[in-house]
Amino acid sequence: MNVNTGELFRMSPEMEKELARRFSERDERFKEMFKPVPVEFSEEVEQELNGQDRGLVDMTKGTPLVKWAKSQQSHKGPNRKQRRQMAKESRRKNRG
């Protein structure tokens, strides 16, 4: 599953190896974006896929699968430098 977009894929081991080979130069990015779904969500995954090999999960739902995917997302909030720069820019704009 792509935890950032909600794309859900049914992957065979061969397909997983092929994708890993294609993205080997960007291996870390690939690992951050695509996570194997834990077994406890298998019923929900089958329901979302509905017999297809690909599906899209609505990331605005409050289902356990969506909550898990959101917890696995790689993007984080702004770091110290970015916060400092935003505050500086905001102060500059608000001087009037």
- For residue range 49-80, what is the model confidence (pLDDT) as tens digits? 998 989 999 999 999 999 999 888 876 667 78
- Which residues does 88 contact at the CB level (< 8 Å), separation at least 6? none
Q: For all residues of the chain together, what is the average pLDDT? A: 85
Domain count, the chain: 1
Query: What percent of the chain is modeled with pLDDT above 70?
Result: 86
- For residue range 26-41, what is the model confidence (pLDDT) as tens digits? 667 676 778 889 999 9
Range of the domain at 56: 7-94
2 within some domain? no
Question: Which residue has better confidence, 43 or 79?
Answer: 43
| pLDDT at position 27 | 66
Residue labelled with tokens 């704009």: 93
Question: 90 pLDDT band (50/70/90 cuts)?
Answer: very high
Closest of 60, 68, 65, 74 to residue 41, by C-alpha = 65
27 within some domain? yes
72 within some domain? yes
SS3 95: coil
